[in-house]
Amino acid sequence: MDDRQSHMLLALRQITENVSVQSTLEDAMSLLVVSIRKATGADCCSLYLVDSFKKFLKLAATDGLSKQAVGKARLRIGEGLVGSVGEKQELIDLADAPSDPKFKYLPEVGEDEFFSFLGVPVLNQGELLGVLVIQSKERRQFGPVEESFLVTLSAQIASIIAVSRSQKDSSSESVQAYVGEQGTGGIAIAKAVVWQPEVQLADVTVQHTKEPEVQQELFHQSLFQLQTEMDLNTLHMSENGKKDAAFGYVSGYGSLLDDTTFQDDVDTEIMANGLTAASAVKVVAERRLSDLASSEDRDGYLDLRDMSEIIISRLMNFSSRAPELKEDVVLAVRSLPAAMVAELKRYRVCGFISMESAANSHTSVLARDLGIPSVSGLHFDINTLNGRTVIVDGMNSELLVDPSESIIAEYRQMMLSGREQEDLFSREKYKEAVSTDGVRVRVELNAGLSHEEMTDLPEQCDGVGLYRTEISFMMSGSLPGEQQQVQWYRSVLKQFKKQSVTMRTLDVGGDKALSYLPIEEINPALGWRGVRITIDQPQILKTQLRSMIIAHSEYGNLQIMIPMVSRLSEIVTCKRMLSQVVKEVSAQLGREIPMPKFGVMLEVPAVIYMMDEILGEVDFVSIGSNDLMQYLLAVDRGNQKVSRFFEPFHPAVVRCLKQLCDKAGQRNIPITVCGEIAGNPLDAMMLLSLGYTELSMNYSELARVRYTVRRVSIGALKDIGEQALKLCHSEDIRKIYLDYAQSVGLGRVVMPAGAKHIPSDD
């Protein structure tokens, strides 16, 4: 090691130590740039940080450029030399930067006198945080010693920056940004109103009464009053066509009011143990909550806690109703009963945030279906938010508190361009998806809640590719019987009577829980789920198949599909039960019912090696890419920490999808994709390039995918598919589809405004 190297090594240690003890990020950054400039002998050192939209790199600190430009000078990721370092996440070391074609001149920063340029990316856990740059007036390349100094330093300071930024945006526009566990819908901007029952269980002190009869009467009156209010609300929702929301209302929450064992337990505490009504509710609720706390039933836990607090509030004469509001607000709550979601618009709530989140809870399912912007699973004290302006960014599961005018303006712009795009797609929503070279692509709907009120829905799609029956089961307070199920299935088959409707048998377990069928497992994703449950509980499967066949006997457009299949015997068992049910129902109705088409979902990688045998048993197959990717890539689909590894363009995913499509094609068996990738325009292009022509997606994605298909050439995409199969890095594969999208004017469609990816212009 020569003198220069050991000098740099010493400087490296000192800089990291000094920077880490600074009390603010601004101080740390200022010290950093000054120290680096001195240690390297450069004429200038600057730090650019990625802004909160992950679109721009903004000058955050400098020793050498104009101080006036700090917080103002910015380059898009990919723009100029700084932007290129950010985009490629690679260092650039040039002797004569201004003569490089990528060089971008920014008049306000005052870099006219500098020639040499060395820029390195600042990365934390693979995420770009910024770019660190040194420049000098001399035309000389810095070389390996400075390069390794800067690379090592940037790795060490990355975690300091990441921690500080999670609390406060470092630019001059101060804003607090919090990332939640999940989000729904688009963007809402408004003042926050914090709402929670005035009384919390923990605050209630247990008291005794000398008049137990009076307390018992009070308890039953409160229950009755609450039940009546709920019935009225349910009626109101049903009148407005929100039948499923009404189910959620009554079941996820209201059914607890009908729970006679709960009432009996409270009565006993009052009459036998002499507790006041409020104390009795507290004691019974806490007893039940401690049982539920250790179970998987997060929804049941929250429903019981919320309902008990509301009853106690009533008993103690607090209103516990949602606040009366005069302007649109963002509601901030600890948790929100599914019951209230469908009512939010009535209370002038344009979005909501909650601290607690149950993955796939009733609340999220409803919020997603109704398109309400929300972020849940936020881990901080929301009580601090009352009256403050917030931005709820459901698309990125992010909450911004006290955003500056310019950030609000930028989000408003995103809302506007989002709306303009929606209008653009909407103008063509009834046009079939036919590519520019004449290939007809089926664009089908993934449904779970009924959309009966949307009478034109069948014209917006080519039928239902996936009807998730478990959503109605989740909304129900107990296992639904045959009559109830026939009613659900009949309404969907009737609405799409001229098209096929693919219903999936109950797919619970894993991340989807039924409150009345608690499953406790250490590793639920690999546990008792999907078809494994319904085969072990044949009565559940049989009732469901019977209900489907009864509904099918009227409309004849049903297809049945089995989820989470991992072995041939599961297919054989389900098929056998289906033929038996068809025979039984035919005999019962006294007429021949045609056998519905029967298919399976391809979600477990084992099926890749069993395709020949599986295809011999079924009429169609459908790829559940959410689960297939989860198992193929060993990435938990609901875990934010690893979500960046959930990559549709991973070479293994692309090659697997190609293999499955080809196999089905050879046997002439229709194959659909019904996971989330089918509804994402860029991913859908990849599917088309591999030979898929049937895609099934959520309602909100139909028009965008139809619009996309109508602008691409399948022939050209197939050539790109051939190239993709030869590549071995996700980013390289993704890029060739992005380039194609841009070449046909779909750059903004595949990267909607506000999506947290590197932006691309057409």
**Closest distance to ligand PEP from the beta carbon of 436 (Å):** 29
**Closest distance to ligand PEP from the beta carbon of 446 (Å):** 7
3-state secondary structure of 192: strand
Q: Of 119 and 563, which has the nearer Cβ to Mg ion?
A: 563
User: Which residues, 616 to 635, sit near ligand PEP by CB under 6 A?
Assistant: 624-627
Report the distance separating Cα 563 and Cα 576, nearest Å: 16
CA distances from 218 to 222, 232, 275, 280 (A): 6, 21, 13, 12
In the list 76, 362, 468, 663, the residue contacting ligand PEP (rule: CB under 6 A) is 468
625 touches, from ligand PEP, Mg ion, none (C-beta below 5 to 8 Å by class):
ligand PEP
Query: CB of 143 within 8 A of CB of 157?
Result: no
Report the distance separating Cα 109 and Cα 97, nearest Å: 15
146 touches, from Mg ion, ligand PEP, none (C-beta below 5 to 8 Å by class):
none
Number of residues in contact with Mg ion, rule: CB under 5 A? 3
CA distances from 287 to 199, 282, 306 (A): 18, 8, 15
**Closest distance to Mg ion from the beta carbon of 624 (Å):** 4
In the list 624, 648, 681, 691, the residue contacting Mg ion (rule: CB under 5 A) is 624
Q: Of 281 and 562, which has the nearer Cβ to ligand PEP?
A: 562
3-state secondary structure of 390: strand
CA distances from 243 to 237, 294, 370, 445, 492 (A): 7, 32, 12, 19, 13
User: Which residues, 105 to 144, sit near ligand PEP by CB under 6 A?
Assistant: none
Choose the stretch contacting Mg ion; rule: CB under 5 A; options: 184-192, 206-214, 620-628, 710-718: 620-628
- 449 in contact with ligand PEP (CB under 6 A): no
- 674 in contact with ligand PEP (CB under 6 A): yes
**Closest distance to ligand PEP from the beta carbon of 362 (Å):** 15
Q: Of 36 and 628, which has the nearer Cβ to ligand PEP?
A: 628
Residue 443's Cβ-side half-sphere holds a number of Cα atoms within 13 Å equal to 33
- In the sheet where 329-333 sits, what is the strand order? 176-179, 398-401, 389-393, 187-194, 329-333, 349-354, 374-376, 182-184
Query: CB of 150 within 8 A of CB of 91?
Result: yes
Helices in 316-404 by DSSP H: which ranges? 338-341, 362-370
Q: Of 469 and 553, which has the nearer Cβ to ligand PEP?
A: 469
User: Which residues, 551 to 610, sit near ligand PEP by CB under 6 A?
Assistant: 603
Report the distance separating Cα 117 and Cα 139, nearest Å: 9
Closest by Cα among 281, 285, 284, 227 to 254: 227
Tokens of 431: 């046009």
- 704 in contact with ligand PEP (CB under 6 A): no
- 356 in contact with Mg ion (CB under 5 A): no
Query: CB of 308 within 8 A of CB of 285?
Result: yes
Q: Angle at Cα 375 formed by Cα 626 and Cα 511, nearest 5°? A: 35
Question: Token match 């390349």: residue?
Answer: 141
Q: Of 394 and 648, which has the nearer Cβ to ligand PEP?
A: 648
Report the distance separating Cα 200 and Cα 48, nearest Å: 47
Choose the stretch contacting Mg ion; rule: CB under 5 A; options: 87-95, 123-131, 622-630, 720-728: 622-630
DSSP one-letter code for 343: T
Closest by Cα among 40, 33, 31 to 11: 40
Q: Of 309 and 627, which has the nearer Cβ to ligand PEP?
A: 627
Q: Of 63 and 603, which has the nearer Cβ to ligand PEP?
A: 603
- 627 in contact with Mg ion (CB under 5 A): yes
**Closest distance to ligand PEP from the beta carbon of 624 (Å):** 3
| 223-250 core/surface letters (b: 16 or more CB in 10 A; e: else) | beebeeebeebbeebeeeebbbbbbbbb
User: Which residues, 502 to 531, sit near ligand PEP by CB under 6 A?
Assistant: 507
Q: Of 418 and 524, which has the nearer Cβ to Mg ion?
A: 524
Which residues are designated catalytic? 362, 674
Question: Residues 577, 582, 584, 589: what is their CA dihedral angle, to the nearest 10 degrees?
Answer: 160
**Closest distance to ligand PEP from the beta carbon of 50 (Å):** 31
468 touches, from Mg ion, ligand PEP, none (C-beta below 5 to 8 Å by class):
ligand PEP
Report the distance separating Cα 255 and Cα 242, nearest Å: 18
Closest by Cα among 144, 116, 158, 147 to 32: 158
63 touches, from Mg ion, ligand PEP, none (C-beta below 5 to 8 Å by class):
none
Distance of alpha carbon 95 from its chain centroid, rounded?
45
**Closest distance to ligand PEP from the beta carbon of 672 (Å):** 10
442 touches, from Mg ion, ligand PEP, none (C-beta below 5 to 8 Å by class):
none
Question: Residues 515, 516, 519, 520: what is their CA dihedral angle, to the nearest 10 degrees?
Answer: 70
What are the residues whose beta carbons fall under 8 Å from the beta carbon of 451, sequence distance 6 or more? Answer: 457, 495, 699
305 touches, from ligand PEP, Mg ion, none (C-beta below 5 to 8 Å by class):
none
**Closest distance to Mg ion from the beta carbon of 565 (Å):** 11
Query: CB of 349 within 8 A of CB of 374?
Result: no
- 675 in contact with ligand PEP (CB under 6 A): yes
Number of residues in contact with ligand PEP, rule: CB under 6 A? 10
674 touches, from ligand PEP, Mg ion, none (C-beta below 5 to 8 Å by class):
ligand PEP
Q: What is the CA radius of gyration of the chain?
A: 29
Q: Of 91 and 561, which has the nearer Cβ to Mg ion?
A: 561
**Closest distance to ligand PEP from the beta carbon of 718 (Å):** 24
CA distances from 415 to 76, 276, 311, 418 (A): 20, 51, 39, 5
The DSSP string of 402-454 is S--HHHHHHHHHHHHHHHHHHHHHHTTTTS--B-TTS-B-EEEEEESS--TT-
Closest by Cα among 222, 226, 228, 320 to 278: 222
- 171 in contact with ligand PEP (CB under 6 A): no
Strands 56-63 and 74-76: what pairing?
antiparallel
User: Which residues, 600 to 619, sit near Mg ion by CB under 5 A?
Assistant: 603
Q: Of 468 and 748, which has the nearer Cβ to Mg ion?
A: 468
Query: CB of 466 within 8 A of CB of 254?
Result: no
**Closest distance to Mg ion from the beta carbon of 457 (Å):** 23
Report the distance separating Cα 607 and Cα 564, nearest Å: 10
**Closest distance to ligand PEP from the beta carbon of 58 (Å):** 38
Q: Of 39 and 611, which has the nearer Cβ to ligand PEP?
A: 611
Question: Token match 């639904």: residue?
Answer: 480
675 touches, from ligand PEP, Mg ion, none (C-beta below 5 to 8 Å by class):
ligand PEP
Encoded one letter per residue, x for contact with Mg ion by CB under 5 A and - for no contact, window 565-604 reads: --------------------------------------x-
**Closest distance to ligand PEP from the beta carbon of 97 (Å):** 47
Q: Of 580 and 639, which has the nearer Cβ to ligand PEP?
A: 639
**Closest distance to ligand PEP from the beta carbon of 572 (Å):** 22
Q: Of 196 and 630, which has the nearer Cβ to Mg ion?
A: 630
Encoded one letter per residue, x for contact with Mg ion by CB under 5 A and - for no contact, window 178-207 reads: ------------------------------
* Interacting residues toward ligand PEP by CB under 6 A: 466, 468, 507, 603, 624-627, 674-675
* Interacting residues toward Mg ion by CB under 5 A: 603, 624, 627
